[in-house]
Amino acid sequence: MATTLESRDTQTSALPPGPRPLPLVGNILAFRRDQLGYLQALQRAYGKMATIYIGKTPVVLLFRPEHVRYVLTENPRNFTSREVAEGLRQLIGDGLLTIDGEAHRQQRRMVQPAFHRKRVESYASIMTNYTGETLKGWHAGERIDISRAMQELTLRIVGKCLFNLDLADQVDTLGSAFTEMIGNPIGLLEGFLNMRIDQPFTAYGKRMAAKRRVDEFIYRLIAQRRRETEDKGDVLSMLLEAQEGEVALTDTQVRDHIMTFVAAGHETTANALTWTFYLLSQHPTARAKLLAELKSVLAGRAPTIDDLPNLPYTEWALNESMRLYPPAWTQGRRATKAFELDGVHFPAGTMVMFSQWVIHRLPDIWDDPEAFRPERWDPVNGQKTPPWSYFPFGGGPRICIGMPFAQLEAKLLLATILQQYTPHLAPGYRLELNPLITLRPKHGMPMILIPTASEGNTSSWEHLLHVSSSGQREIAERKGCLGALLSLFGVMRA
């Protein structure tokens, strides 16, 4: 159903126009009902900018690439993210994703060596080796949740690369905990009435229980390393030796950085790979081109750093996947001082928001924007787009510090997996998007593992790829009105 909008009277407001807000709650009900569709509808209705209200707080939505450039690179010090990241800060603490100003600059410089090019490239063998171990546990014709599988694999990789820790025995527990933390957003009871009920039947209670499980693991790890006093040359050793002024970081500060790196370090790549497998499953021509490239360049062996320049289509497919399904689908900032943008004056304190989901699909910028077309990234014959029309990792001084790590990991994992299996979407699956902190499929991503060697001749696997004649129940859960309302208010319903 198309999202409908009713304009409010803007004669008394200096802010850009937008849909009429309801008393007390503003536009939050319409926004929460279909966040992605609502933002796209606002862009179509209002053009460059629109204003919505979260409760009584106005939020200005910016829909143009030049707006993103203005906020992220031209005037980054006038825009802070701490206020808009408060919900995230409750979970991961004061790490690079949630701090601002001089503290952010100091701590970014402190951990930057861990993400220098040569250090990141040294992780390549860990990435391919762990992927190979995962593939040994997969079987032809098996049905798996590719979303969960990628989360567990990338979680294990980030644990080894950044903390010299093999999480093989903990990935299931930690992966479930991170899913509970991310998958239970702030409801109206918590957000508007500040009612934080720490019980298993509330979203807040589920988040806090998951946070306590992860905290227990991290603090145990910190205590163990402090006893050992050995510099293992990893990020954790760097954090334990780091100082703020002349004072060493506390366990809480170290915990916040670990939580940030583990959460961000596996979530982005896991989602990017999940959406790439989904799109390749839906587009056999693109899939065939990618497999042909892998066969020609790698001939079945594990990819290395040196192979990547010879795998352009692999990179294009990942870029196109992150255009259509950006893992980070929106960003927000608060202006510390008044500013002018596109002829509009905005007072200090203005909240702004821009969405990768919307800007990555603007029809005046992207030809056939809803189509999965890796060839558009061909630097010679592809589509030419203006700067900042594509920003999956943000930009400016706060650009994702782990971007080189994530890009390398995604390419190596995709190339390694596709040489052995080409996952096909399970029959009867109906995609539902779940735009939380990151963009995930709402009910996982069930896929059938088809051996790549049989790609193009899948007759022996046909029975696994079609819905039986008796019909198959849709995998997607259907909630009634009561379920939707309970979820909105932060009360979970089994």
What value does the mean pLDDT take over residues 380-396?
92
The span from the CA of 62 to the CA of 80, in Å, is 16
Say yes or no to pLDDT of 1 above 50. no
- pLDDT-derived band at 178 (thresholds 50, 70, 90) equals confident
Most confident of 227-236, 285-294, 482-491: 285-294
Pull the structure tokens for residue 272. Answer: 């990017």
188 vs 77, which has greater pLDDT? 77
* Triad 145, 40, 379: Cα angle to 5°: 75
pLDDT (0 to 100) of residue 286: 97
Q: Strand 331-335 relative to strand 79-80: parallel, antiparallel, unpaired? A: antiparallel
Query: What distance in Å separates the CA atoms of residue 158 and residue 386, rounded to the nearest whole number?
Result: 33
Q: Which of 177-186, 357-366, 394-403 has the highest mean pLDDT?
A: 357-366
Distance linking the first and last C-alpha atoms of the chain: 26
Q: Which two tokens stand for residue 33?
A: 């009902």
**More confident: 139 or 200:** 139
Tokens matching residue 250: 């506390």
pLDDT for position 385: 94
pLDDT at 291: 97
Q: What is the pLDDT of residue 483?
A: 46
- Which tens digits make up the pLDDT trace of 138-172? 999 999 999 999 999 999 999 898 888 888 878 78
* Confidence band of 408 (pLDDT split at 50, 70, 90): very high
What's the rounded Cα separation, in Å, for the pair 207 and 90?
A: 10
* Tokens at 248, concatenated: 């060493």
User: Counting Cβ atoms within 10 Å, is residue 405 exposed (0-12), middle (13-18) or buried (19+)?
Assistant: buried
The pLDDT of residue 7: 55
Residue-wise pLDDT tens digits, 57-114? 999 999 999 999 999 999 999 999 887 777 777 787 888 888 888 888 888 888 888 8
Length of the chain: 494
Q: What is the 3-state secondary structure (H, E, C) of 212-259?
A: HHHHHHHHHHHHHHHHHCCCCCCHHHHHHHCEECCEECCHHHHHHHHH
The whole-number pLDDT of residue 479 equals: 42
Q: Residues 172-188: what's their mean pLDDT?
A: 75
Closest CA to 173 of 205, 144, 214, 133: 214
**pLDDT given at position 470:** 39
CA atoms in the 13 A half-sphere facing the CB of 449: 19
pTM for this one? 0.87
User: Greater confidence, 467 or 41?
Assistant: 41
Are the CB atoms for 281 and 287 separated by under 8 Å? Answer: yes
State residue 473's pLDDT score: 39
* pLDDT-based confidence at residue 424 (cuts at 50, 70, 90): very high
Residue 484 banded pLDDT, cuts 50, 70, 90: very low
The arithmetic mean of pLDDT across residues 392-415, rounded, is: 93
Calculate the alpha carbon distances from 111 to 18, 162, 232, 239, 257 in Å: 42, 11, 15, 8, 9
User: What is the rounded distance in angstroms from the CA atom of residue 97 to the CA atom of residue 398?
Assistant: 8
